[in-house]
């Protein structure tokens, strides 16, 4: 069970997509994103790569790959996936790495895509 203070809602997401200092991370596989689309301003780091990317990727490589600076441990990271399960796993990994302001959008893509119609 995820701590409710670490959960963002659809309404929260509508605000954060316009706040470039927040880092929205889609942890689905590229094929899933290509098939469905993504939340505006999000970057894709598949779940299996989250720990290594946040822990070991250099600032320079991160900027090259994602066209934004690598987040610091004090930045707000918001994870989402298809239904909330993988985003909760990603949240757990980020918190263990010291990204203390990390959150999850439990509704994830299923909720976002349903409400965007």
Q: Where are the beta strands (DSSP E) in 55-99?
A: 77-80
Q: Which of 25, 47, 77, 81 is catalytic?
A: 81
Dig out the tokens for 30 from the structure: 């590229």
Token couple for 2: 């995820």
The values of phi and psi at residue 104, to 5°, are -130, 145
Is residue 81 part of the annotated active site? The answer reads yes
Rounded distance, CA 21 to CA 73, Å?
13
Catalytic residues: 81
């Amino acid at each position: 069970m995820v701590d409710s203070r670490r959960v963002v809602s659809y309404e929260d997401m509508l605000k954060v997509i316009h706040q470039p200092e927040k880092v929205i991370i889609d942890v689905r596989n590229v094929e899933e994103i290509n098939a469905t689309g993504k939340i505006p301003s999000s970057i894709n780091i598949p779940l299996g790569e989250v720990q290594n990317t946040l822990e070991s990727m250099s600032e320079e490589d991160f900027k090259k790959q994602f066209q934004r600076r690598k987040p610091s441990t004090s930045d707000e990271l918001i994870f989402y996936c298809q239904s909330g399960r993988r985003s909760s796993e990603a949240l757990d990994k980020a918190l263990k790495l010291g990204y203390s302001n990390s959150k999850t959008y439990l509704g994830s893509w299923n909720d976002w895509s349903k409400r965007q119609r």
